[in-house]
């Protein structure tokens, strides 16, 4: 039986999406295009998930360029990867605002080992998107920002969740990062597919860092209390 880490690494290595996307939208797949992310993510999962324990899922929207797009690890930029997880990163160094809050939450929960022993973080859509603007610059793009994009990736999202549940997930509850559109789409999908008994919405880390930065500690404790309500 493969370990949780081996299942995640295999899942990531097989992630592929080649359907036609709406104009000026591109897929972002660090596991195909970024050897540094592949190396770092494998070290990360072998360090924290080298077991067969059951965990609960926490799902964001889709990877951003400076978080999982760089490291292959959701909500983990290179700064937190090196300073907190103690995993060296060879490539370009990044700072991701959402990662700041996630690791504040992890610290409040009891640290990386304790947190990752209980939870597995990814995104509803495990691959990210970028939009090429008028100046030719790539900016982060969400799966729900374009209805055509969502309909195109919906089967991929459904298949990806099914595969990840098989890693060894407790399906009584799934935590959704995002109380607006991400929760709306995730809840609708769950009603249709019956992945989890319950979807619990939590504020998105980017929102907290951008608009509620003075209350980050309060939000971290709020999240900890919610996450500890359901004991594995």
Phi, psi (deg, nearest 5) at residue 221: -70, -35
Domain that holds residue 152: 4-227
Are 218 and 192 within 8 A, CB to CB? Answer: no
Query: Using CA atoms, how far apart are residues 72 and 156, in angstroms rounded to an integer?
Result: 18
Alpha helix positions (H), the chain? 4-14, 30-33, 35-48, 68-71, 78-83, 97-109, 112-116, 147-165, 181-193, 205-211, 216-227
Nearest alpha-carbon partner for 169 in 49, 80, 15: 49
Query: What pLDDT sits at residue 232?
Result: 53
Please indicate, yes or no, if residue 104 is contained in any of the structural domains: yes
pLDDT in tens, the chain (232 residues): 899 999 999 999 999 998 999 888 999 999 998 999 999 999 999 999 999 999 999 999 999 877 788 899 999 999 999 999 999 998 788 889 999 999 999 999 999 999 999 999 999 999 999 998 877 788 889 999 999 999 999 999 999 999 999 999 999 999 999 999 999 999 999 999 999 999 999 999 999 999 999 999 999 999 999 999 866 5
Position 105 in a domain: yes
CA–CA gap between residue 10 and residue 193 (Å, rounded): 24
Q: Is residue 113 part of a domain?
A: yes
Q: What is the pLDDT of residue 231?
A: 62
Quickly list DSSP for 186-204: HHHHHHHH---S-EEEE--
Mention every residue, 6+ apart, whose C-beta is less than 8 A from residue 1. 52
Total number of domains in the chain: 1
CATH no. for residue 162? 3.40.470.10
User: What does the pLDDT read at residue 133?
Assistant: 82
Q: Is 87 helix (H, G, I), strand (E, B) or coil?
A: coil
Q: What is the C-alpha separation between 167 and 6, in angstroms, rounded?
A: 9
Q: Is residue 232 part of a domain?
A: no
Residue 163 lies in a domain: yes
Residue 181 in domain: yes
Backbone angles phi, psi at 138, to 5 degrees: -90, 130
Q: Is residue 122 a contact partner of residue 55, using CB atoms and an 8 Å limit?
A: no
Domain assignment present for residue 81? The answer is yes
Residue 173 placed within a domain: yes
């Amino acid at each position: 039986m493969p370990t949780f880490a081996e299942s995640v690494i295999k899942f990531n290595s097989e992630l592929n999406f080649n359907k036609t996307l709406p104009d000026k939208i591109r897929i972002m797949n660090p596991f195909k295009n970024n050897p540094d992310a592949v190396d770092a993510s494998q070290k990360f999962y072998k360090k924290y998930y080298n077991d067969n324990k059951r965990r609960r899922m926490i799902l964001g929207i889709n990877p951003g360029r400076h978080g999982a797009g760089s490291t292959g690890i959701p909500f983990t930029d290179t700064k937190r990867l090196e300073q907190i997880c103690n995993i060296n990163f060879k490539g370009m160094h990044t700072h991701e605002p959402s990662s700041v809050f996630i690791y504040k939450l992890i610290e409040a929960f009891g640290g990386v080992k304790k947190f990752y022993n209980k939870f597995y973080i990814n995104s509803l859509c495990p691959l990210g998107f970028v939009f090429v603007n008028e100046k030719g610059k790539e900016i982060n793009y969400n799966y729900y920002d374009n209805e055509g994009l969502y309909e195109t990736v919906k089967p991929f999202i459904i298949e990806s969740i099914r595969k990840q549940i098989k890693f060894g997930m407790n399906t009584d509850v799934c935590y959704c990062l995002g109380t607006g559109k991400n929760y709306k789409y995730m809840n609708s999908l769950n009603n249709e597919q019956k992945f989890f008994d319950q979807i619990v919405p939590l504020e998105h880390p980017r929102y907290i860092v951008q608009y509620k930065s003075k209350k980050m500690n309060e939000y971290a404790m709020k999240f900890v209390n919610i996450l500890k309500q359901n004991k594995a």
